[in-house]
Structures are given as C-alpha cells and as structure tokens.
Amino acid sequence: MEGFLVIDKPAGITSHDVVATVRAVTGLKKVGHTGTLDPFATGVLPLALGGATKLIRFLDESVKVYDATIALGAATDTGDLTGEVIQTAPIPDFSDADVDSVLASFTGDRLQTPPAYSAVKKDGKALYKYAREGKTVTVPPRPITVYSLSIIERTPESLRVLLSCSRGTYARVLGDDIATALGSRGHLRALRRDQSGPFMLEGSLDFEQLGSMVAAEAGHDWREVFMGRKRGGVRWRPRDEVRGEVLARVVSPLAALSHLPRVVVEGAVATAVRNGAKPPACADAGTGERYAVVTGGELLAVAENGPQGGKSLRVLA
C-alpha cells in the first residue's frame, strides 16, 4: 500500500489526529501528512502512505486554493474563530467595487509575517509555544504570492473569498489584512482547502465515508466509530477489508509526481536501476533538475540529471 490518500479533514480535529486514525484503520506504520491544516479548518489534507512518505519532498504543492470566510468587526489573537478577541472595529459601509479593489490590491508578490499562533520556529521553538506562554517574539516577514483573490459571497458582517496562493501563505493573516484594508478588523470564521498542488477536494475521502468503510454496522457517525472505540464502542470490520477499500482511493506515486518529466525504462535496465545502477539521463530535464524513472506504467525512481548523467535520489521498492 504505497501512494497518497487525500482526506477531506473535518473541523475540530488536528492533522495528527487524521494521521493516527488512518494508521489505525489501515494498520500501516508509515503514514504522514504533506502539510498541516489548523484544527478549525477543513478540506484537502494529503497523506503519504508506506514508502510514499519518502516522496513528500519531491511533490509540487506550490499552489494552494482556499475557500475562506472572513468575519468582519473583530480581530482575534489566533486570527480565527478559536481565539480571544483582541480588538473590535466598526464595519464601514463599503460597496462591491470597494471590495473588488481591495482584493485586487493583495494579488501578486508580497511579504507576510507569520502569525503568533503558528508552527514557524524561532530559536528552535514554535511560535505558538511562545504565544501560549504569553511571550511576544518577532520573526522576519516571508515572501508569498497571491495568484488570485475573488469574492464568492458577501453579507453585512462577512466576506467569503476564493484564494489561490503560494505554499507558506497564512490565510488567517490575509483575512485580517483584507478587513483592515476595508477599514475594519477581521478573523477567519471558516477555512476550507480546495486544492494542495496536485491533490484536489474532488475525489477526496471524508471522515463520514471512512467511518462507513470501517464500521461493522451501518448508522454510526464518524465520531462514534473512531473516538468511541477505546470505550468498547462501534465494532470495526477486518482491517484487510478496510485496507482494500482505502487502496481504491489512493493516488499513485506517478500521478502525484506528474509535474516531473519522465524517462521510461524496461527489462534489464529497469532491474539495474532498481539494484542501484544509474538511470538514463532525461533529455527533457536540465542539469540539476529532477525527473521520474518509469517502468511498466509505475514510478521506479526519482532521479536528477547531473554532469555525468542520471543519478537516483529515491528508488521505490
């Protein structure tokens, strides 16, 4: 069982909770997420299964797409609805044209300072740990790119926007910045990730579906299935049966690395690469660039063009 499973994460649990659940239902020891979602957020959470955990560094998740709802009138210490209100502000009477103008001003390259409640580290310690201790620390702003930003829905107290941005962009920070530019303050009421690189919400596996796969009898909410097990709750189906159904939803390593150019090898050459020989160089990749070595329609290795030809960076079992 090797590949990537796209989970539609529910609100109220951590990304680590999702990883632990998938480990439990599949019996796999190696399961890892490619990037966390905040507990209040929902949507695309890609998980690497088995040997695919060694391929995370080769993924191209440079584009993220979010559906974000900004509550106007109050800023919180976390930048979302889970935090404490730190400032309130009136909501001005602005027009649709005002909103469009403000959103347009945020597109392009810009610098963004990570929020206090984030996993960014300062002197080896995550910022959220300092924040929980009541300590204020500063970190330098980081370059981000907002590819597009458009309005989905507007009410007198909120804005719902569609955000396409680079990896490392904090929607929580952007939400308050947008509200401030409109003359108010704001925080995220909801955040849903629709896309993370090649991984889309369409075709993802939500926890209701996963719970239905796992439960031995129908009619149970996913919380009953997963959270009540230690208390002698819902009986689970045999793990092999569940694993087979989950496997049908897995994105293959080759599909996940579709952004890489390819070299196809067969027979003795494929066997040699699998046993440690250098792969053929890739004519479609420049020096120092990565490419996929493919055999039988499956990913055999991720390699890199060097001055002396190809070099395997990771060979799959």
**Which residues are identified as catalytic?**
38
Specify burial of residue 313 (Cβ count, 10 A radius: 0-12, 13-18, 19+): middle
Angstrom distance (rounded) from CA 310 to CA 308:
7
C-alpha distances (whole Å) from 141 to each of 8, 79, 128, 129, 246 are 30, 17, 16, 19, 40
Which three-class secondary structure state does DSSP give residue 87? Answer: strand
Region class of 3: left (phi > 0), else alpha (psi between -120 and 50), else beta = left
Residues 6+ apart with CB under 8 A from 286: 305
The residue type of 160 is R
For the chain, the first-to-last Cα distance in angstroms comes to: 12
Distances (CA, A) of 223 to 12, 71, 228, 281, 314: 11, 28, 7, 50, 38
Could you tell me if 127 and 137 are in contact, meaning their C-beta atoms sit under 8 angstroms apart?
yes
Longest dimension (CA), the chain: 71
